């Protein structure tokens, strides 16, 4: 998290999670796996949720957090697919017109 997000956002998320009156305040566990891919750190996941969903996406605390995050995630996925479809059609035409590829 430290290198992906602004320090102010991470500090805010830690404060938000430490506040007992915050609905998202809860304890988290860590599960050690065989490697980094099978290890889970719930507190880190919770901070990620706070920074992305609460801070960047501005999902209010009084709505169904998961449902709203799923809607936003689906919107982002749809936009990514549309961009990839556009790029897949546009780039070859662009390159051919400039005689970069034949």
8-60: per-residue pLDDT in tens?
888 888 888 887 776 655 566 677 778 777 777 777 778 888 888 888 899 98
Quick one: 58 and 76 in the same domain?
Answer: no
Quick one: 99 and 80 in the same domain?
Answer: yes
Quick one: 55 and 28 in the same domain?
Answer: yes
Quick one: 12 and 40 in the same domain?
Answer: yes
Quick one: 57 and 97 in the same domain?
Answer: no
pTM reported for the whole predicted model:
0.60
Q: Which domain holds residue 57?
A: 1-62
Three-state DSSP class for 35?
Answer: coil
Quick one: 23 and 51 in the same domain?
Answer: yes
Quick one: 28 and 53 in the same domain?
Answer: yes
- Does 44 or 78 have the greater pLDDT score? 78
Exposed, middle or buried, 54 (CB in 10 Å: 0-12/13-18/19+)?
Answer: buried
Give the C-alpha distances (Å, rounded to integers) separating 38 from 16, 32, 41, 43: 27, 7, 10, 15
Whether the pLDDT of residue 1 is over 60: the answer is no
């Amino acid at each position: 998290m430290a290198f992906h997000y602004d320090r102010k956002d991470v500090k805010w998320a830690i404060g938000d999670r430490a506040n007992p009156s915050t609905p998202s305040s809860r304890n988290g566990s860590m599960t050690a796996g065989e490697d980094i891919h099978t290890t889970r750190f719930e507190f880190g996941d919770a901070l990620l949720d706070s920074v992305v969903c609460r801070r960047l996406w501005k999902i209010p605390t009084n709505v169904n957090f998961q449902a709203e995050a799923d809607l936003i995630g689906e919107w982002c996925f749809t936009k990514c697919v549309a961009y990839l479809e556009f790029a897949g059609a546009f780039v070859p035409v662009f390159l051919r017109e400039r005689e970069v590829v034949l």
